[in-house]
């Protein structure tokens, strides 16, 4: 009997120790897994990229403890800055226009010298961004061509609108000297400049409604200007990253009729450096909460999941995103 008791004790001890060891080693990788911090480059706080980054980060940070991923947004000049920041490693993710996503990945247009951004990866697309021209009502600008000889704000050099405007200047064969004055104000400065009569028109490639156009059209007499004609139609017909766009009449004071223009899609991109698990968790957080996501900004109201995984994406999808899209039945 005595012997029997003595035998039980070491066995129990062995069991307890081995169970603890098992639990310790099993949970070790999880305990040691570092939180993945991701920074998303957006745009001016008066645009739609900034709240877009805010919406994405909000949903990611809901799972920050369970999935060890933490998201932060950075206000930037826009697409061109974001692509450069992602390429240099300063940013992990960015919101970028579909035209500049295309050119960066393909190494064309302004990226011809730098070459292809091979490691660029798409996650999903978001809202449409019409090429938007807002003029003072007294400036006598009724169509894009009327801008010639006027004072215009072409936007800051690393913004998407400036890059797209540069493309249009080439297309129309216009030089900066063909305008009475050209300024490079950022979106948060341009509404005031327009209403203070410092410029006749401002240019913005942006989702609607947005606070910059609301601010200008609310503070002084303005109107949205059509950007259409043969040159624009041929752009839309020959480049996959451009599309027809309409800014609905009545959205802004002074513009009761629909405004016809062309546009791009806003997209969320990253690189192959983002771990697969992080990309998976990130897109999952957005897509599983799609109903909430589309309510986070009025420019998102028409977004549907199928369009978000296919529209405007030139760079290959990140493998972590593909894993989730297949799992969710959004891809074969």
Cβ closest to ligand GLU, residue 63 vs residue 205: 205
- Radius of gyration over alpha carbons of the chain, in Å? 25
Cβ closest to ligand GLU, residue 44 vs residue 271: 44
Smallest separation, CB 206 to ligand GLU (Å) = 4
Q: For tokens 């894993």, name the residue.
A: 323
Smallest separation, CB 250 to ligand GLU (Å) = 21
Smallest separation, CB 205 to ligand GLU (Å) = 4
Cβ closest to ligand GLU, residue 66 vs residue 301: 301
Q: For tokens 């070790």, name the residue.
A: 28
Tell me the sheet residues that pair with 183: 153
Contacts of residue 252, Cβ cutoff 8 Å, sequence gap at least 6: 209, 213, 214, 217, 218, 222, 224
Contacts of residue 241, Cβ cutoff 8 Å, sequence gap at least 6: 98, 99, 101, 102, 264, 265, 312, 314
Cβ closest to ligand GLU, residue 47 vs residue 85: 47
Q: Are 41 and 95 in contact (CB under 8 A)?
A: yes
Cβ closest to ligand GLU, residue 67 vs residue 99: 99
Q: What is the phi-psi region of residue 120: left when phi exceeds 0, alpha when psi lies from -120 to 50, beta otherwise? A: beta
Cβ closest to ligand GLU, residue 71 vs residue 264: 264
Smallest separation, CB 94 to ligand GLU (Å) = 9
Q: How do beta strands 259-271 and 243-247 pair?
A: antiparallel
Smallest separation, CB 293 to ligand GLU (Å) = 16
Three-state secondary-structure class, residue 88: helix
Smallest separation, CB 218 to ligand GLU (Å) = 18
Smallest separation, CB 34 to ligand GLU (Å) = 31
Cβ closest to ligand GLU, residue 147 vs residue 264: 264
Smallest separation, CB 55 to ligand GLU (Å) = 12
| Contact residues: ligand GLU, CB under 6 A | 43-44, 47-49, 78-79, 97, 129, 159-161, 205-207
Distance from C-alpha of 83 to C-alpha of 109, rounded to nearest angstrom: 14
Cβ closest to ligand GLU, residue 111 vs residue 324: 111
Closest Cα partner for 71 from 84, 58, 52, 88?
Answer: 58
Tokens of 85: 């920041």
Closest residue to ligand GLU in the complex (CB): 78
How far lies 233's CA from each of 73, 238, 260, 267, 312, in Å? 36, 9, 11, 23, 18
């Amino acid at each position: 009997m005595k012997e029997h008791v003595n035998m039980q004790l070491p066995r129990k001890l062995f069991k307890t120790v081995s169970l603890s060891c098992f639990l310790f080693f099993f949970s070790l990788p999880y305990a040691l897994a570092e939180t993945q911090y991701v920074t998303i480059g957006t745009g001016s706080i008066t645009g739609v990229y900034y709240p877009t980054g805010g919406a994405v980060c909000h949903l990611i940070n809901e799972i920050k403890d369970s999935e060890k991923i933490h998201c932060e947004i950075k206000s930037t000049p826009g697409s061109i800055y974001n692509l450069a920041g992602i390429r240099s490693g300063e940013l992990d993710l960015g919101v970028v226009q579909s035209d500049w996503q295309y050119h960066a990945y393909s190494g064309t247009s302004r990226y011809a010298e730098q070459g292809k951004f091979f490691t660029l990866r798409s996650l999903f697309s978001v809202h449409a961004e019409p090429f938007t021209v807002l003029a003072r009502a007294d400036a006598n600008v009724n169509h894009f061509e009327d801008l010639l000889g006027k004072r215009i704000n072409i936007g800051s050099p690393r913004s998407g609108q400036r890059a797209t405007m540069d493309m249009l200047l080439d297309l129309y064969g216009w030089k900066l000297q063909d305008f009475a004055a050209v300024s490079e104000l950022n979106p948060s400065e341009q509404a005031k400049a327009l209403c203070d009569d410092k410029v006749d028109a401002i240019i913005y490639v942006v989702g609607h409604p947005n606070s910059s156009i609301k601010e200008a059209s609310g503070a002084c007499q303005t109107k949205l200007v059509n950007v259409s004609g043969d040159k624009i139609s041929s752009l839309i017909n020959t480049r996959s990253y451009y599309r027809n766009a309409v800014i609905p009449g009545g959205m802004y004071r002074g513009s009761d009729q629909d405004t016809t223009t062309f546009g791009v899609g806003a997209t969320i991109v990253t690189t192959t450096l983002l771990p697969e698990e992080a990309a998976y968790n990130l897109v999952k957080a957005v897509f599983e909460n799609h109903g909430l996501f589309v309510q986070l900004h009025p420019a998102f109201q028409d977004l549907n999941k199928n369009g978000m995984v296919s529209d405007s994406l030139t760079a290959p999808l990140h493998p972590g995103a593909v894993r989730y899209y297949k799992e969710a039945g959004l891809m074969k």
